[in-house]
Chain A
Amino acid sequence: SQQGEEDPQALSIQEGENATMNCSYKTSINNLQWYRQNSGRGLVHLILIRSNEREKHSGRLRVTLDTSKKSSSLLITASRAADTASYFCATVANTGFQKLVFGTGTRLLVSP
């Protein structure tokens, strides 16, 4: 079963606008990761945030984590057409073996 659910399922914006995607998960986690997948390609790791962190930045990406609400958000600032892709959150549980459990993803379309 999927661990996370992303919201919205699809998002369409104009270049220059900010894009926000949300992720909810069910169990206690060690860390949460965000990945990007361009159409027909593999997944690319964007950012990892540990359970004891609340916010993390990487370039135009900002990730927040609220473990009390079991939720995370990914903000892409000043979007570009090249940001068009599907974005997935994935969690690593706090117990058991280290494995990524994925959500169903958000499809982002950035129009020029």
Chain B
Amino acid sequence: NAGVTQTPKFRVLKTGQSMTLLCAQDMNHEYMYWYRQDPGMGLRLIHYSVGEGTTAKGEVPDGYNVSRLKKQNFLLGLESAAPSQTSVYFCASTYGFGYGYTFGSGTRLTVV
């Protein structure tokens, strides 16, 4: 099925550990995004990409890095996890202006 796939779905990390979240889309979308969702705060943009090989900072980029080496994949990295990064992470993609976004099912991350 076409869409956005996120892996893993759940993860528990210890403070200071690192990990990478993978997002893959098969719709040939140019734009990809990483959001985090915390209770009562809606979704906040972490990083985004306008195309293969490009990345840019969003609203809450500190503590995260991203890479888009292939058009269909957008990776989110946590170099040294902190409890404040406990959240649900969503990846999304779109063709561009005037189109809705397609979201993945999310990754629930707990940092202890």
> Using a CB–CB distance below 8 Å, which chain A residues touch chain B?
1-2, 30-31, 33, 35, 41-45, 48, 50, 88, 90, 92, 97-105
CA distance A97 to B97 in the complex (A): 9
Q: Judging by beta carbons under 8 Å apart, are A97 and B59 in contact?
A: no
Q: Judging by beta carbons under 8 Å apart, are A102 and B42 in contact?
A: yes
Which residues from 12 to 55 on chain B have a C-beta closer than 8 Å to any C-beta of chain A?
31, 33, 35, 40-45, 48, 50
Chain A nearest Cβ from B108, distance in angstroms: 8
Count chain B residues whose beta carbon lies closer than 8 angstroms to a beta carbon of A.
Answer: 29
Answer yes or no: B74 CB below 8 A from chain A CBs: no
Q: Judging by beta carbons under 8 Å apart, are A44 and B103 in contact?
A: yes
Q: Judging by beta carbons under 8 Å apart, are A103 and B42 in contact?
A: yes
Nearest to B6 among chain A residues (CB) is A42
Nearest to A100 among chain B residues (CB) is B101
Complex interface bits, B43-81 against A, C-beta within 8 A gives 1, otherwise 0: 111001010000010110000000000000000000000
Partner of A41, one of B43, B56, B105: B105
CA distance A102 to B48 in the complex (A): 15
